[in-house]
Amino acid sequence: MLAIYLLTKTRLTSRQYSKRVIEDMKERHTSREHMQWLEMDILDLQFEDESFDLVIDKGMTTTILSDVGS
């Protein structure tokens, strides 16, 4: 996700279930004002319709890319 942020210089919102991960990411990226880290259950998303131009599921991306070259 950091690579996408650095390449696009756009606003990035990351949803995570683990409060510990959220706290760590907020601490690591304090200088990146357009990055937002939210603790939220994927089964109970609290976003308005059409809130995002693009949604990327890192787990799915990792799964797809891990199969490349197999």
Separation of alpha carbons 3 and 5, rounded Å: 5
State residue 24's pLDDT score. Answer: 92
Q: pLDDT tens digit string along 58-68? A: 777 777 777 66
Separation of alpha carbons 18 and 24, rounded Å: 10
**Among residues 29, 38, 35, 46, which one has the least CA distance to residue 11?**
35
Q: pLDDT tens digit string along 2-49? A: 677 676 667 888 888 888 988 998 898 888 888 888 888 888 889 999
One-letter amino acid of 64: I
Domain boundaries, the chain: 2-66
User: Looking at the whole model, is its pTM more than 0.85?
Assistant: no
